[in-house]
Amino acid sequence: MMTTRRTDYAVIGAGVLGCLIAREILTRDPHASVALLERDAVASGATRRSAGLHFPRGSSPRVRRMASHSQQWYAALKAARPELPVHSLRMTVVAPTAEEAQLRRTYLPEAKLRPATELPATIGPLPAGMSAWEGDGCQYADVHALTQVLARELRPTAEFREGVQVTGVTPTADGVHLDLGTGDALTAGHVVLAPGPWLAAPAWKDLVAPLGARVKKVVALHIEIPPAADERAIIFQDEDAFLLPYHERGHWLFSYTCQEWDVDPDTVPASLSPTGRGEALATLRQYAPHLVKHCTSGRVFCDAYGPDAEPLVRALTEDGRVVFAGAANGSGYRLAPAITAEAADLLPLPPERNLPSQRTLPSQRKDAA
């Protein structure tokens, strides 16, 4: 029999962003009722395949502010919870020598960019006209594991519905009616859409379409050699690519910019294609040709991208009851805390006063009932 329940807030999508948004709602208003709805399992979409690399840069003033906010948030989180799978990492940035001024405008002051005294052993001599800089503020996370921790801590105070597809989103005079694939329904005072690359889901396709966001294929190669303990992340600025030493997994990851657009997250192949692998190797070969023979595996998925290379955080209805948060251009983990804060600011919640990571959920407090 169909049942209809009511909740103050419904968050659609239980990836890292959706879980952080639910956490922020409850941090700002511990008495709110919150439901997270996920078509699959928690952290099963783009979050599961995320490289999880954070570095302090931004292509626009807003993104730089977001990167700075997120950097402080993650630093405070790690200081308060050192057991979490967030790991500091040294960083080398490779870019054209002539673009140093622009590079320094792009990276935050926290990066403290300085000319590299030596190249990482992972890459060979740089092509003519290229230079390297060392920087601070880099870290990477096991985003899937981190999101599972966030979800576990949310469960005592939020309602989780995994494996439940939202089939309809209908704004009404007193809330937002959600039809669910189980035959049940939910009425929410406000809804936050954090669907990752599922922009074209029938339930919200028409609401999201005016944002102009698109879905792009994301490809990363696994380089099957163990990184040394002191290896650093290497960022190839102009190529929008990076090498990440995955110490916990025992291999390297090479992420490059694939230009295959408007793919469907439900049908995009999960395995490497000759074209995708070849394009990635062409970029890698410029800097580390000796690694090419070790690129025998990888990961493939997709992500949502905003039209201006900035995350999208917008009210989708005139009354502000439906908010979209995402399309972070491949930086969902990197900018998630800032996206979360912007989304929460669009909801009828108290303003953010401290870094979210310095506060605790009601279920984490010693005096919690």
Mean pLDDT of 57-75: 96
37-57: per-residue pLDDT in tens?
999 999 999 999 999 999 999
Give the CA distances from residue 93 to residues 23, 58, 100, 274, in Å, rounded to whole numbers and listed in that order.
34, 14, 11, 28
Does the structure show a pLDDT above 50 at 232? yes
- Cα 313 to Cα 338: distance, rounded to the nearest angstrom: 10
Angle 7-10-11 from CA coordinates, rounded to 5°: 160
Q: Which has the higher per-residue pLDDT, 240 or 358?
A: 240
180-230: per-residue pLDDT in tens?
999 999 999 999 999 999 999 999 999 999 999 999 999 999 999 999 999
Give the CA distances from residue 362 to residues 151, 154, 254, 312, 352, in Å, rounded to whole numbers and listed in that order.
14, 9, 40, 29, 16
Q: Is this structure's pTM higher than 0.75?
A: yes
- Cα 174 to Cα 187: distance, rounded to the nearest angstrom: 9
